[in-house]
Every structure is written in structure tokens, then in C-alpha cells.
Amino acid sequence: GAVVSQHPSWVICKSGTSVKIECRSLDFQATTMFWYRQFPKQSLMLMATSNEGSKATYEQGVEKDKFLINHASLTLSTLTVTSAHPEDSSFYICSARRAGGFYNEQFFGPGTRLTVL
């Protein structure tokens, strides 16, 4: 149980285009989902926290208009990188916290590698 999927696994796009990444909790409901980015050989950096049915909370320094997050249901959150540029190339990982869980354990998706040319 507690499986999180991400789609796509990797994506290569041209500069200036937008890319949407989906994060799904497959066998549980997730009240909260988190989006991280990870640069090579670095730790995870939290970008935003997404609660179902409400606006995402962004970490300081993360542009809301560039990284659009939608958490439309208890099993799906999407991250759209708008007008992507090469500096947005990174490994994006989502995680989900199970509804009704009594602690903050998060279940991580397999990640999406974004390369912007």
C-alpha cells in the first residue's frame, strides 16, 4: 500500500514551453501533497505544499506564477512549469501524506526528470 506515481518519468522540452507533471496517490487518499526539486548531488528542496481544494503554499523564493500547482482531488496534484527555461531543468519529486495518518510520514513518487533545451 501507499503507492505514489508520477507522470511523466522524464520529459525534454524546448525553452519557453510549459510542462505539466502529475502526481497520483494510487491506493490512498492524500490530504496533502508536497512538491520538491532536487539538483544533482544535492538534497531535496521543498517547493510547495498542496492541500486538496485550496491554494498551494509556496516556499520562499519559489515563483507561484512559474510553478503552478493544482490539487483538484484527494488523489491527484499537478505541477505545471510555465515558460520553462534551462535553469528549470531538475529532478522533480512529489510526495503525499495519507489522510487520517497520525504522523507526517510522506510517501514519495518516483520523480520526473525535466530537461529544458
Site string for other proteins, 54-93 (x = CB under 8 A): ---------------------------------------x
Triad 82, 20, 29: Cα angle to 5° = 130
> Residue 85: which residues within 8 A CB-CB, separation 6 or more?
15, 16, 116
Told to check if 115 binds other proteins by CB under 8 A, we report no
Report the distance separating Cα 111 and Cα 4, nearest Å. Answer: 10
Chain-centroid distance of CA 22 in Å reads 7
* Residues paired with 5 in a beta bridge: 24
Give the one residue of 11, 13, 20, 44 binding other proteins; rule: CB under 8 A: 44
Give the one residue of 28, 84, 111, 116 binding other proteins; rule: CB under 8 A: 111
Looking at the Cβ atoms of 83 and 99, the one nearer to other proteins is 99
Residue numbers at the binding site for other proteins (CB under 8 A): 32, 34, 41-44, 46, 49, 93, 95, 103-111, 113
